[in-house]
Amino acid sequence: MSECKRFKKLISDYLDDELSADLRVNFDNHLEDCPGCADTTSQIETLKDELKKLPQIQTSPDFDTVLRTRIRIESGIGRRRLHEIVWDWSAKIPVYGMAVALMIIAIVAVISQVNKPTRPEAYPNEIWIGGEPVENKTPNLIKESENYIEVIYEIDRIPPQNSLTNRDSIKNVRKDSSNEMNTSRIQRVNHRVY
Amino acid sequence: MGYETKSKKPTDEELIERFQNGDIYAFDLIVKRYKNQLLNFVYRFLGNAEEAEDLVQETFLRVYRNRKAYQRVAKFSTWIYTIAGNLAKTELRKRKRRKFFSISDLGYDDKDYDISDEAFNPEKTVDGNIKEEIIHREIQALSPKFREVILLRDVKELSYEEISQIVNIPLGTVKSRVNRGRLKLQEKLRHLLKI
């Protein structure tokens, strides 16, 4: 039995003439004595013949045409790739340029908005303190003199366009005839900065 | 000049060299020479003629695309069968994944193993068609590693050395696989082979 197992491993070598002369003789001797191995060997020989005889199929009639088309398409794609890269970039440059220009314009607009004087242009002489007109602020101190009312504000922030320095300042507001301060008078303020 | 004649038939290696040097006609000759050989190998490997033809097309496309990669140290047939074999194995792996993810898929094996009604016609004797169907079915039932070497050896009749290069396994392993594959087939086809 173990001998059959050993010879079964050699069946293909035997049938394919791959065995040495000695082994071939041994194999032949075994086949004479073992009908089982002889039967298996014979069937494998038949199997080999049957496999060789399997019908051959043919490619479809349009095989060559399809292949040529596929090659042409692929070659076309290969050429177009480079062309497309160049075209894409050349096409995109104006787009990108315009996008960058718009972005710059937007940034400039935003920056100019941020830095825009909060002071309305219509009232160039109006005093603004801490981002709002002075009339909205509550004075910290009011001192009356002969010709002026001295109004003192504590300023937290000085608008850029304002000539005031970043420190507390005193506004001298001209005292009008009714000895009251109003909005119109504020525009005529004679302010001094200490 | 340029025509494949019986008197002076260029070798595969000469053709691919001509193709490498820009002779497109040499590529056409390679296609003519190999298309049916490859088709039958891939068809028996995958079990589906339509898929096999697509895959052979893809094989030639790869030869076209990678013609410069071929070096004359190997036989051209080894190179082209390696490409086709790898594509076929990849296709089998894809099928396995598709089968795994599709609960409704009965599997290509089930479909491809169907023997046509014609084959079961009682008036028809047990002739070659049925035998071929059964053999084809049993080839498909082999695991791919046995199927590939059996097809290369017994259907395409390539040498063990060449199969060893195509499959990229040692010569001894090829011989062992061929023998085991044949024994498996013989076991399955025992009754058929006795007729």
What pLDDT, in 10s, does the model give residues A8-53?
999 999 999 999 999 999 999 999 999 999 999 999 999 999 999 9
A46 touches chain B (CB under 8 A): yes
Q: Most A CBs within 10 Å: which of B32, B158, B179, B185, as the mutation test of the A interface? A: B179
Distances (CA, A) of B34 to B23, B56, B166: 17, 9, 16
Is residue A191 within 8 Å of residue A171, measured between CB atoms?
Answer: yes
For chain A, the average pLDDT equals 72
Give the residue-averaged pLDDT of B145-167.
Answer: 96
Residues on chain B touching A60 (C-beta within 8 angstroms): 53
What tokens does B27 get? 């590529």
B125 or B40: which leads in pLDDT? B40
Residues on chain A touching B40 (C-beta within 8 angstroms): 54, 56-57
Closest C-alpha to A133, from A66, A185, A78? A185
CB within 8 Å of A176: residues ≥ 6 apart: A182, A185
pLDDT confidence of residue B8? 81
B193 closest CB neighbour out of A46, A57, A63: A46
What 3-state class would DSSP assign to A30? helix
Please count the residue pairs, one from chain A and one from chain B, whose beta carbons lie less than 8 angstroms apart.
86
Residues on chain A touching B135 (C-beta within 8 angstroms): 50-51, 54
- Interchain contact, B35 vs A71, CB within 8 Å: no
Q: What is the model's pTM?
A: 0.62
Instruction: Identify the band that residue A93 occupies on the pLDDT scale cut at 50, 70 and 90.
Output: low
Backbone φ and ψ for A172, nearest 5 degrees, come out as -100, 115
Q: Which amino acid is at A119?
A: R
Look at residue B168 and tell me whether its pLDDT is greater than 80. yes
pLDDT confidence of residue B72? 81
- Total residues found in chain B within this entry: 195
A43 closest CB neighbour out of B64, B136, B193: B193
**What is the Cα Rg of chain A in Å?**
52
pLDDT confidence of residue B97? 82
Look at residue A174 and tell me whether its pLDDT is greater than 60. no
Instruction: Identify the band that residue B119 occupies on the pLDDT scale cut at 50, 70 and 90.
Output: very low
Question: Which class for B127: exposed (0-12), middle (13-18), buried (19 or more C-beta within 10 A)?
Answer: exposed
Residues on chain B touching A46 (C-beta within 8 angstroms): 193
Instruction: Identify the band that residue A179 occupies on the pLDDT scale cut at 50, 70 and 90.
Output: very low
- Total residues found in chain A within this entry: 194
Give the residue-averaged pLDDT of A87-112.
Answer: 78
Is residue B51 within 8 Å of residue B26, measured between CB atoms?
Answer: no
Give the residue-averaged pLDDT of B85-102.
Answer: 85
Q: Which amino acid is at B32?
A: K
Give the residue-averaged pLDDT of B139-151.
Answer: 96
What tokens does A140 get? 């910290």
